[in-house]
Structure formats: structure tokens, C-alpha cells
């Protein structure tokens, strides 16, 4: 039953979404069942996020407790999690029962420090710690991308040469200095790049990738509905 029941639930849920997509729910027996399924999916998704946080805390707590190599980074992760989470969920007004109890211990003037409003602890940490660290990470990532591009764009054969020339044109087109340089050879060259490369060849390749991904997703969904794919239950 532990295997059969999840498969039945997955099949019924998937069947409801498929039928609701191709048929009008108001003219079939489904009615608002599709909306109910989507609401349950959102609720379950919220619990999975909570489980993810619990898992991160458990793994990092174990590493810190055993003083493994690099445990200070795990400790910083734990401190960051609680520093961002606790102030954002604490009451910001004294209207609720918990809020009234909270402000019996702490001054009510501290209310602006909690929640996610501008000027709160959460807002300060996000703007002055999280955002700069994300900017730093992406700035460092640019060097790795440049290194990978250097290795990928070597003109070893005709296809690699074509890729190199296309990439150079697109990179020049994306920056003001490069666009000004291209206009030296003709004012319409940036427009040609946008029309024939970005909206032409690039869009065609992207659509092919999206179609392939959609077919793969449909195939995987069918395997899950039929009970062939059971990795979501921890089984192959």
C-alpha cells in the first residue's frame, strides 16, 4: 500500500490536470478540481521548502558539532539562516495575540526592526549583505565564463570558426562601444544582427531546445502517471 497509494494519487492528479487543460472544466465533471489540485500543490511546495530548511540546519549542525574541516563556513550558514528568518517572522504589530505577548518583553518601538518592510533587520541584511555577495559571485562567474568561452571559441574547424564569428558579432552588438564600432561599417549592421542572428538563428535554436524539453517533460510526466518512474518515492 505504501507504493500503490502514491502512484494512484500521482495518476489521478496528473489526469485531472491533463483533462482540465484540453477540456473545459465547467462542462465536465471536474468543475473547480483543477484549482483545488493547484492549491494543494502550493501547500505541499511550502512544506518542501520547510523540509529543505530543516535539512540544511541538520547537515550544517552536524558538521559544526563534529568540528569537521571548514566547519566555520557551516556555522556562518546557520547564523545567516536564523538571522534572516527569525526577524522576518516576528510580529511587527501588537494586534495579534503573539504580538501582544512579544511586546510585553520588548519595547514596541522595536516593531520597525521586524518583518520585511524597508528599514527592518531583514531588509538591511538583504540589501547590505546578501545583494553585495550575489553581485560578487556573479562578477567572479564572469571570469569563468570568459575562460570557458576562450576554450570553446577556438577556430579548430569550420563550425567552431562560425561560432566564433557569431559570438564576436553578438558581443559587440550587446555593448555601446561595440555597437558604435559596428556602425562604422554601416548604420544597419546592428539591426541586421538583431534581425538575422538574434531573432532568426538564435530564436530557432531556442525554440528547438524548448520543444525538446517539453517533449521530455511530457514523457517524464507520462512515466510518473503510469507508475513507471518512481524516483519521487526513493525508488528507481
What confidence tens digit (pLDDT) does each residue in 51-85 have? 999 999 999 999 999 999 989 999 999 999 998 88
What φ, ψ does residue 154 adopt, rounded to 5°? -70, 130
Tally the residues of the chain: 236
Does residue 191 carry a pLDDT above 70? Answer: yes
Contacts of 82 (CB under 8 A, 6+ apart): none
**pLDDT for 12:** 87
Which uninterrupted H or E stretch holds 222?
helix 203-225
What confidence tens digit (pLDDT) does each residue in 96-132 have? 566 666 666 666 666 677 778 888 888 899 999 889 9
Please report, for the chain, the start and end positions of each structural domain, with discontinuous segments joined by +. Answer: 1-79, 90-142, 153-236
pTM > 0.85: no
**pLDDT for 198:** 86
- Give the C-alpha separation, 89 to 193, whole Å: 50
Q: Which residue has the cell 483543477?
A: 34
Confidence of residue 35 (pLDDT cuts 50, 70, 90): confident
**100 in Cβ contact with 94 (< 8 Å):** yes
Amino acid at each position: 500500500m505504501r507504493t500503490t497509494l502514491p502512484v494512484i494519487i500521482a495518476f489521478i492528479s496528473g489526469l485531472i490536470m491533463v483533462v482540465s487543460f484540453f477540456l473545459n472544466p465547467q462542462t465536465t465533471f471536474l468543475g473547480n478540481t483543477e484549482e483545488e489540485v493547484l492549491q494543494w500543490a502550493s501547500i505541499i511546495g511550502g512544506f518542501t521548502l520547510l523540509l529543505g530548511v530543516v535539512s540544511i540546519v541538520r547537515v550544517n549542525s552536524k558538521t559544526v558539532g563534529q568540528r569537521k574541516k571548514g566547519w566555520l563556513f557551516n556555522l556562518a550558514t546557520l547564523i545567516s539562516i536564523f538571522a534572516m528568518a527569525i526577524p522576518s517572522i516576528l510580529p511587527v504589530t501588537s494586534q495579534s495575540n503573539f504580538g501582544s505577548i512579544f511586546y510585553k518583553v520588548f519595547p514596541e518601538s522595536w516593531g520597525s526592526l521586524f518583518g520585511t518592510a524597508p528599514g527592518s533587520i531583514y531588509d538591511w541584511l538583504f540589501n547590505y549583505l546578501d545583494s553585495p555577495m550575489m553581485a560578487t559571485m556573479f562578477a567572479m562567474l564572469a571570469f569563468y565564463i570568459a575562460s570557458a568561452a576562450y576554450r570553446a571559441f577556438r577556430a579548430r574547424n569550420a563550425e567552431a570558426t562560425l561560432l566564433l564569428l557569431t559570438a564576436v558579432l553578438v558581443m559587440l552588438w550587446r555593448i555601446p562601444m561595440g555597437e558604435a564600432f559596428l556602425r562604422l561599417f554601416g548604420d544597419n549592421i546592428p539591426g541586421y544582427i538583431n534581425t538575422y542572428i538574434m531573432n532568426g538563428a538564435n530564436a530557432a535554436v531556442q525554440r528547438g531546445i524548448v520543444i525538446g524539453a517539453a517533449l521530455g517533460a511530457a514523457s517524464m510526466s507520462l512515466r510518473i502517471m503510469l507508475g513507471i518512474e518512481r524516483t519521487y518515492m526513493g525508488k528507481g
